Amino acid sequence: MLVSPSIIAYFGEDVCTKCGVELNDNNWQKSWRDVDRKECSSCKQIHNTSSNRNRMFVDGKYVPPNHPLHKPGRYTSFGEAAFTALQKDERVKEGYVYAISNPAWPEWIKIGMAIDAEDRCNDYQTSSPMRDYKLIHSISTQNRGRLERIAHKAAAKCGERQNEWFKITGEQAIVILESIKEGTDGHS
């Protein structure tokens, strides 16, 4: 609700244009005072929670949506924004267990987990100048961490292992993932 000009005139110039409260050092942001924006902290909070959900601020500075690291919220640094995304990724159990290949290592297949397998494959493309990673297969699950561990054990029995990379064929990777899915219906 906007305050009528007569109320502003009655209280003087330094009143919130939304609720009419007198503005002072305790409820009026200095940066807003400097530009003569007449809005109290309470109205600012109401405004931010209702219409600014998609805005990003880092150390108090606005980050436009076209910025490559844009993620809605308020952060002290870009690192904090990235870290909160990682924390969310760790908390979410459901997602995919996937197998990815790259012709640079023709005998090796990576078996991993992600909230979104295609998105993860796209992430790998940024590290390859040829953009040649290929998503061989993925299965949906309610507990991607558990199924990834099971897939790693099964793949290690079939061939050599280097971290999450296994010296197996794409067909073997598909059989491993499908057998895990059938054994648990992908919902364990």
Report how far residue 7's alpha carbon sits from residue 57's, in angstroms, rounded to the nearest whole number.
34
pLDDT tens for 17-46 read: 777 788 888 888 887 778 888 888 777 665
Label residue 90 by pLDDT band (50, 70, 90).
low
Cβ burial of 85 (10 Å; 0-12, 13-18, 19+) is exposed
Are 77 and 59 spatial neighbours (Cβ–Cβ below 8 Å)? Answer: yes
Comparing 84-88, 108-112, 119-123, which segment has the lowest mean pLDDT?
84-88
Q: Which two tokens stand for residue 93?
A: 């159990």
AA letter at 48: N
CB 158 within 8 A of CB 176: yes
Q: Which helix (H) or strand (E) holds 117?
A: helix 117-125
What single DSSP character describes residue 142? S
pTM exceeds 0.75, yes or no? no
Q: Where are the domains of the chain?
A: 1-51, 54-91, 93-184
d(CA 86, CA 114): 11
